[in-house]
Structure 1
């Protein structure tokens, strides 16, 4: 049986424990300094505390950044592309104490969300420009006055005074030869020149068998500058006329035609010959051979510039007899212009002694002085 064996073993174990318990206080007191006054053993207890925490590591000093070079002028800032709002991995793994200040500032700048751009201010509407008047139309050539060009091609200033001396009133009779539509004819013509120093009238009339009668008339005022026409008429089978309005600078036509601009000194197709006579009679030395005289000349339905060139004096053989006369020739400006040549006789106050008119189709009329007398 197991009981008798266990009993002695149990008793031995208990005895050993009792001995250990008894001897334990003696081991504890042996380590302390002995107390002679105390013979009794003392029982001492100790509390077991956890070990103290190790001291924190000394903070690592941040590296001192290298000194920056002198600031250079930076170019204009370039707008950077949007950056991610999360910190990069390097910034997360590094503590602020270990991170250089420049790196930390860059990380914070990258982590900050981009600021929205301010909305552009609405443009201020520009004030409309002040209305400007359109430039005036170019001045018509026919508004110019009388122009004199010297033989060397130099025009005299427009305000150069050109004196005039009107010839005495006269009736001139002409023998006429001509051609109309390839039909040659002979006719008679008369030029009646009248004035009283204030008003004038000049009338030219041609009569021809099988051709009929054609009459041109001009009347107006006499001034220090010469003739100032008021009305011109041209009558054959019907009458056409032009009225001069120098205030409005217009010539108006009947039958209806667009008005033509005119300026001071304008003449009509009959008065122009008498105006030339008055200018040459007053100062013949002003008009040497090669000089040119230009007028605005009005017809029955238009106005244009007529230029006459002065030629040498010729001796004409006329029905009246031989007569010296100064030849003037109208210079055509384009094809189709009427050609006109006249000879002005100094002995008659530079009244015309011969007039030859030639049309573009070849028709012509040649008036040669036959007689002259007071009206």
Structure 2
């Protein structure tokens, strides 16, 4: 078949297009890519949305590890109480300056009856002590009090206090210095143990030691005291004006703990190392008692 003749003008257009394509292949100006076919991807970090930045996730709560039974009881029991930290700490007191075992005999007035009380002080060579108060009205023995513990630079550090009758403990208070706890046989409470805390008998001598350390007239002395029914209170003693029968002793009175507090007065003798020579708690003619020094047996 014979080829059709190409019009001259069309031939020229085909030749021009071929030359332009050849120039482009040799490095001439290139046409930008078709953006509609392949959209551009952002490369600037600043343009990323905030959610793309690393976010610190909260760590999962740690699982509670099993605790020893004794510790779990001490921290979880509702009866455990913490002593307020805003209360002033008991100042340090020197050891009592007493020579050897001593027994002090007192005249007793209790519940409107007369009797006798004996306070036995037994310091040991190894730094331990035993303190016992026995009372008797006629032939009838009343419940005795006993405190045992250590002597250190802070005075008395009781370990156990007990009321006794017939040679057996009726109520007891245990002081755990290492665990910083005080516990009671008559109460489930376990309380935090403050420095210098005393029992219902050892505070007599501890107060004497505090006054020895700072015998300031018109002063104020503080001591924490634990009772056998589960109580632990700070007792604050203040000096009061001398009365006619004080005979050179230092008369101290405890601040009332409440509207029904029977009150405590104690008389310390400077000539005997501020040993209590007289003590009155409540009303001796009704439900209280009073003891007055009668004799000393060394």
- Give the aligned partner of residue 94 of structure 2: 164
- Give the aligned partner of residue 257 of structure 1: 188
Aligned to 1:141, the other structure's residue is in SS state coil
1:324 and 1:334 map into 2 onto residues whose CA distance is: 30
Aligned to 1:274, the other structure's residue is in SS state helix
1:199 and 1:348 map into 2 onto residues whose CA distance is: 21
- Give the aligned partner of residue 141 of structure 1: 83
Across the aligned residues of Structure 1 and Structure 2, the Cα RMSD in angstroms comes to: 3.5
The CA deviation at 1:227 is 0.8
- Give the aligned partner of residue 104 of structure 1: none
1:353 and 1:245 map into 2 onto residues whose CA distance is: 31
2:87 and 2:176 map into 1 onto residues whose CA distance is: 15
CA deviation vs aligned residue, 1:310-361 (integer Å, no higher than 9, x gap): 21463674xxxx74211111112223334211100011110011010117x9
Shift in alpha-carbon separation, 1:142–1:342, aligned structure 2, 3 A: farther
| Among candidates 143, 148, 155, match of residue 226 of structure 1 | 155
Matches for 1:189-268 after TM superposition, within 5 Å: 189-196=117-124, 198-209=127-138, 212-236=141-165, 239-255=170-186, 257-268=188-199
1:369 and 1:296 map into 2 onto residues whose CA distance is: 25
Checking the alignment, whether the CA contact within 8 Å between 1:206 and 1:214 is kept in structure 2 is yes
Aligned to 1:268, the other structure's residue is in SS state coil
1:232 and 1:144 map into 2 onto residues whose CA distance is: 27
Aligned to 2:132, the other structure's residue is in SS state strand
1:188 and 1:314 map into 2 onto residues whose CA distance is: 26
Checking the alignment, whether the CA contact within 8 Å between 2:238 and 2:255 is kept in structure 1 is no
Shift in alpha-carbon separation, 1:311–1:256, aligned structure 2, 3 A: closer
Matches for 1:1-375 after TM superposition, within 5 Å: 131=61, 140-141=82-83, 147=89, 162-168=92-98, 169-179=101-111, 184-196=112-124, 198-209=127-138, 212-236=141-165, 239-255=170-186, 257-285=188-216, 288-289=217-218, 291-312=219-240, 314=242, 317=245, 323-358=247-282, 362-374=286-298
The CA deviation at 1:362 is 4.9
Of structures 1 and 2, the one with the larger relative CO (CA 8 A, separation 6+) is 2
CA deviation vs aligned residue, 1:8-38 (integer Å, no higher than 9, x gap): xxxxxxxxxxxxxxxxxxxxxxxxxxxxxxx
Checking the alignment, whether the CA contact within 8 Å between 1:231 and 1:243 is kept in structure 2 is yes
Gaps of 5+ in 2: 1-50, 64-74
Checking the alignment, whether the CA contact within 8 Å between 1:313 and 1:327 is kept in structure 2 is yes
1:165 and 1:248 map into 2 onto residues whose CA distance is: 23
1:127 and 1:326 map into 2 onto residues whose CA distance is: 68
The CA deviation at 1:196 is 3.1
1:217 and 1:249 map into 2 onto residues whose CA distance is: 21
1:132 and 1:329 map into 2 onto residues whose CA distance is: 53
Checking the alignment, whether the CA contact within 8 Å between 1:142 and 1:261 is kept in structure 2 is no
Aligned to 1:162, the other structure's residue is in SS state coil
- Give the aligned partner of residue 97 of structure 1: none
Shift in alpha-carbon separation, 1:131–1:204, aligned structure 2, 3 A: same
The CA deviation at 1:191 is 0.8
